[in-house]
Structure formats: structure tokens, C-alpha cells
Structure 1
Amino acid sequence: MKYLIIPILSGLILLYSCGSQPQEQTSAKYKTLNVGFSNQTLKRDYTATLRGRQYVEIRPQVSGIITKICMNEGDVVHRGQVLFVIDQVPYKAALETAMANVKSAESKLATAKLTAESKEELFRENVVSEFDLQTARNALAEAQAALALARAEEINARNNLSYTEVKSPVDGVASMIPYRVGALVDSNISEPLVTVSDDNEVFAYFSMDENQILDFVQQYGSLQKTMEQMPEVELMLSNGKVYQYSGKIDAI
């Protein structure tokens, strides 16, 4: 093969040498583009979770059977509005018992006061001993403590009765209701009775990896300065369209 290539190359050289004068090559024209410097913002996409300004899970503070649901799913509810009613019968009975105990304690206290005052007078006249006087005083103190305990139990019973009306602590929109009338609920239920979301202001929560955060901190000096330098963000809806209003980074 080597011997065949050499003559061919020689023939090409001779042919070129004996031919006509080489034609001048025309210069080709190419399109050019002037490159300049400019600032560009690079966009990155993150998956976000949207939540209202307040997102409150409503749970009962007492146990019992739901006897009434006072709103519908998706309703706009207001702060202090009754949403659910839990069976009030046992809690009304407990309150009446507590009120009766208070009256009984008040009567015993009044008797203890009369006894103590009488013992004081008799002691001054040397009719009773100091032991009898001190016993009367102790009985008075015990009656006062019993009345304080009865009043505390009455307050607790009133609170429990008030808790049977489950009220909304905020204004907002009610979610779906996983419970119905007749369901037994308590403070340890796995799902809340309902959630109330205030959507007047909406926050989008998303995650960035740690390396990006560290780069920002090293570039700007702190998280606070990073937030100040952050550009406005856009929200792309599930239908692929961009929400008409832009947002800003509020917290990191």
C-alpha cells in the first residue's frame, strides 16, 4: 500500500505545477455579532406550599358527643362564632353540683364564723380554754379553704360547660369537616374538628438547599442582608400561568 500512495501524490504535485495559474480566492463574508456586557437575572423554580396568614386547627377541649354542627364546609366564619356543640347535659349537671357545693361551703363558713366569734367572747370571760378558742379558729380557716375550693370547682365547671360550644378563634374559611353529629370526640383526636384559614394574606413556603443559603450568606454577610438583596419572586399556578402579583422573601 505504501508504494501505491507515493506515485499518486507525485502525480498530483506535477499536475498542479503544470496547470494554469492559481485563481485568487474570494474572501467569504460571515455574519458577525457584537457581544456586550449586561446584567441578567437567572430564574430557578421551587415547589411551594401555600398557606394563609393564619391556619388554625380547631380541637375540642372537653370530651363528649357532637350534638350540633353550626356551619358548613367552606363557609366564611368569624372570630367567636360557634362551630360545634358538644353534649352539654353532663357539664350542666357538674356546674349545678359545683354551685350547690359553694352554697354549702358558704353556710359552713358562716357557722364557723359564729362559733369562732362566740369562742372569742367566752375566752375573754374565761369561760372556755385557749384550746377551745384555737379549735374554733382552725375550723373557721378550714371552712374558708373549703369555700375557696368549692368556688374554684365552680369556675372549672363553668369553663368546661363553655367549652362544649367550640368557637372559632380567628376569622377565615372553614375546611372540610371529618366528623358528623353523633361522633365522640375529645382533646386527643387525631384529626381536628375543622381548620380555619385566613387567606387575606397568603404565604408561600419553599425550601432551598444548604449550599445556596451558605453562598448567599458569604456573598452578602448575613441572612438579613440576603433577604434585602433578594429579587421579587413570581408564583406559577398549577395551570402553568404566572400569578399577576409578585411577592417578596419575608423570612429565611
Structure 2
Amino acid sequence: MLTDSISKPAQEILYLGLFLTILLLAGCSKAPSTESLPAIPQVEFISVTTRTIPDEPEFIGQTEAFRPVEIRPQVSGIIKKVFFTEGRNVKKGDQLYLIDPVPFRAIYLSAKARVAQTQVRLDQAKQDLARVQPLLKQQAVSKKNVDDAVAEVGAAKAALEAAQSDLIKAKFDLDNTLITAPVDGRIGRSHFYEGRLVSAQTTLLATIDQLDPMYVNVSVPESYLLRRRRELAEHKVERPDIFQLRGLMTFSDGSIYPEEGVLDFSDVALRPETGTLQGRFVFPNPEGKGSPGQSYFYPGQFVKVRIKGYSRIDAILIPQRAVQQGPTGSFVYVINGEEKIELRPVQASSWHGTEWLIEKGLRAGERVVVEGLFRIQPGVQVDAVQYRNSHSTPDHPDEQTEQTVRNMP
């Protein structure tokens, strides 16, 4: 036999070779079976729903005193005394400045004397007229004498009226040498002090600011106005009367003013240099009547004003993690009826708390992937389960801080 002619060592080598060949064939036959059964990735999704949410845009504003009153002299002269302390509160009627009254008192006394003089002249003219009128009937005097007496009475009356007018002007100038506060408020720095010459109605002496309430002016871009008008026309957004809109103010350090303001003025024309429309909110500031340092805000501050009163109807909110960014813009992964992944472009306009507001691209009832995004791609079949943290979505998104991100790519 053949095996008898082969030596024993050679037989062992032959058997070993056959054994290794069988193992290699068995290994190759198992590899295709492993690759032909890939594991289906599991993802978590949320079902898209619609709801009504507050729509509260935010704009930059600047504070302004409610009634800034400029203090200017009504007469020209030398300042003799400054009565107030700069930066303090003043009451209506408090003395502020004294302009040297001596020349104005002299003018007043002179005008007063002229009034007395013309009054005497008028009395005398009346007496002369009374004497010549009976004599005319007796033909003791001519008609010209009577006419001259009548003219003298008229001239004396006119002179008296002119003198009285000069007296009123002199009294006005004398009284205005003492400058008093026309309103309650806080007076700023004085621009002039004792010994300085000031000019009537041109020199600015100081300014009194009324700090309760306070104005906040906001500038609204034209693009926002056009978009908001379109949304109102399409019934996507609702609002009350424009002058019932409220404002919530945030300072530069992030602190929020506890009182809400009310819109009380909207400009009638856009500013061509900025392309914005100015609106004005009134905020109560009771601390403004107190001593300096107690007020929450001062004129000239830059703040943020969040406008409250708008409501967005049928709004779609999804978690921020579900929105991805691609070369063409924002997109989400949607699970279709065949349990396969679809890439869906969306328009995400702003976020509310931890959720994006989706303007376009999604409908109520669709399923959006929020977990397991790294395991999927379009067309892949998935094992979809409900998002386990979906119950943590706030019921009142207006309690969250809203930051608006407009015109996303």
C-alpha cells in the first residue's frame, strides 16, 4: 500500500497539512456570515408637537431722564452766588443762582418813578380838559383849545401805558436775577460759578434731571419690522395693542431690573442714517427721588430691553442637540415610516432655554433623532425608541433666558 511505502515522519507532515487546510477553509466560510448581519443602531427620538409660546425679541436701548430741564439765565450779568450743591436733589422753588441785582434794581426804581410821573401828567391833562370844555359852550375858548386838551389826555394815557410796560419789564428782570429750580429733580454740575459773566437765554448754567420715572429708547431694525408685519398678517404671531407692550430691562452686568416698563411712544419715521425706528419705554424708578447712589439706573446707560406681549402660535421647539450644521445650513435627522433616516434641512431662528425654534422644515407628528446621531447616516434603518429625557423640557419656556440668533445659514 501507498502508506506502507511512506515513512512515518512523512505521514505526520501530511496529516498536519490536511488539518491546517481544513481549519483555514472553515475560518473563511464563517467570515461572510458575520458581515451579512450588521447590528441595527438604536436611536432616541422626540415627536414634533406645536404649542403657543411667548415671542420676546431683545433690543439694545439707552436710558434717558424723564424731564431734563436746562437752567439758563433770563438776564445778562455777573453771578454773585451759587446756592446749591452739585449732584444733589433739589425741590421746585429752591434757590440756585443769584445774578448781581444792583443794576436791575436801579432800572426798576427808575421805571417806577416814570410811571408816577406820567400818572401826574395824565391827571393834570384830565383837569385841563375838564376846565376848557364848559368854556367852549360859553364861547370863551376856541374849539382848538378843547382839541389840544383832548390830545394831551390821550398822549398822557399812552405815556402812562409805556411807562407801566417798562416797569413790568424792569420788575421781571429784577426778579430773574434770582434763579430758582422750576421742577423737582437732581441737579448736575454747574458750568459757571461766582464772578462769571452770563448771557441771557444763551448760557447753560446747569441741568436738572427728573429720574422718576425714566425713559429707555430702543432702536428697532427695519428688517425686524417687515418680518413682524408679515408674521402678523399670516397669523403666526399675535400681540395686543402696541402701547400695551411691556419691556424687561437687563443691565450690562446681566442683572435684571425688577420693574417692567410700558411702551409709550413709537416714532413716525425711520432714521435714514441707521435704518431703524425708535421706540420709547417708561420705567418706574422710585429710588430716583432718593439720595444719590440709591437709584438703579442713570441717564445715558446702555441696556437690553426684552419686549413682552407677543405670542407665537403653532411654534415647533426641539432640543438644541438635534440641530446639526452642514455646508448648506442647519439640518436634523428624521425617522420616516420605514424606520429609516432622512436628512431634513430646517430653518432654526432662535432658542428658548435649551430648545431651538424651528421656522421651516418640520411638521407636527414627525420623529426627530436627538440621541445616537454619531451612529447613523441617511438611508440607514434604525431601532427608534422614545427620548428618555423628553419629560425634562420646560413647560414654560418664557421662564428661561432667551437669546435670539437671527438669519442662521
**TM-score, L = length of structure 2:** 0.53
Matched residues in 1 for 2:144 and 2:177: separation? 50
Q: CA RMSD in A?
A: 2.4
Q: Is the 8 A contact 1:220 1:226 kept in 2?
A: no
What's the counterpart of residue 74 of structure 1? 87
The letter of the residue matching 2:183 is: V
Of the two, which has the highest radius of gyration? Answer: 2
The letter of the residue matching 1:163 is: N
Change (3 A) 1:118 1:89: same
2:115 to 70, 79, 102: 102
Q: Structure 2: any 5+ residue segments left out of the alignment? A: 1-24, 234-239, 267-409
Superposition map of 1:1-252 within 5 A: 19-20=29-30, 22-23=33-34, 24-41=37-54, 43-189=56-202, 192-216=204-228, 225-228=241-244, 230=245, 232-252=246-266
Matched residues in 2 for 1:141 and 1:240: separation? 76
Matched residues in 1 for 2:123 and 2:82: separation? 46
Residues 138-190 of structure 1: CA deviation (Å, up to 9, x unaligned): 01110011011101110110001111111111111111111111111113535
The answer to which structure, 1 or 2, has the higher relative contact order (CA under 8 A, 6+ apart) is 1
Moved over 6 A (4+): none
Matched residues in 2 for 1:207 and 1:154: separation? 51
1 or 2, which has the higher helix percentage?
A: 1
Matched residues in 2 for 1:194 and 1:101: separation? 37
Matched residues in 2 for 1:62 and 1:234: separation? 45
SS of aligned partner of 2:265: coil
Change (3 A) 1:108 1:53: same
The letter of the residue matching 2:180 is: K
Percentage of identical aligned residues? 26
SS of aligned partner of 1:94: helix
Matched residues in 2 for 1:67 and 1:243: separation? 43
| Per-residue deviation, 1:97 | 0.6
SS of aligned partner of 1:80: coil
Change (3 A) 1:126 1:215: farther
Matched residues in 2 for 1:204 and 1:245: separation? 13
Compare 59-68 and 239-248 and name the one that shifted more. Answer: 239-248
Change (3 A) 1:198 1:131: same
**TM-score, L = length of structure 1:** 0.83
SS of aligned partner of 2:247: coil
